[in-house]
Amino acid sequence: MSVQELDFSRVDEIIKQTPNKKGALIPVLQKVQKFYGYVPIESIERIADGLHVYPADVYGVLTFYSQFKLKPRGEYIVRVCCGTACHVKGSDRIAEDLITKLKVAVGETTEDRRFTLEKVACVGACALAPVVIVNEDVHAKMTSDETRKMITSLQKGQKE
């Protein structure tokens, strides 16, 4: 869906259903993101107007909290843990291989919007290093080869 095709009536509805506008910025942004999969930057002024706050305040919250995304994300969010244990066991090589396989930089989404590639500082699963998480599924003790095979299966439409 292109920006021109986005319908912001849902944003208006979310704001209208918010009883206490004061202090409701984060919950409104969460609902907008849940609906669209991200918070379209074009919705910032509409949210600001509806909640009676400055657009800069909305943008500040969106960029401060890493949970909020300003760009569409893929069907599959592929996270490579780069914490110490995972790093020592080769997560950087896995990340580089994914960059090549998906033809996308870290933090970006493939053109077909199927995959978003992210590096995360630590997922708290050091005993399972290196770890790759696809959406909410944790894949332990991964190798570059296993990771490439998993991505190929997903590209072919096969579930994990």
pLDDT in tens, 41-98: 999 999 999 999 999 999 999 999 988 999 888 999 999 999 999 999 999 999 999 9
Q: Is residue 69 part of a domain?
A: no
Q: Amino acid identity of 24?
A: A
- 3-class SS at 103? coil
Residues 59 and 83 grouped into a single domain? no
Tokens of 41: 């930057």
Q: What mean pLDDT comes out for the span 105-112?
A: 93
Q: Please tell me the pTM assigned to this model.
A: 0.74
Instruction: Provide Rg for the chain, Cα atoms.
Output: 18
Q: Where are the alpha helices (DSSP H) in 44-120?
A: 44-51, 55-64, 84-88, 91-102
Q: Is residue 39 part of a domain?
A: yes
Residues 150 and 91 grouped into a single domain? yes
CATH of the domain at 15: 1.10.10
| Sign, Cα dihedral of 79, 82, 86, 87 | positive
Give me the number of domains the chain comprises.
Answer: 2
Range of the domain at 83: 76-155
Residues 149 and 83 grouped into a single domain? yes
Maximum Cα interatomic distance, the chain, rounded to a whole number of Å = 52
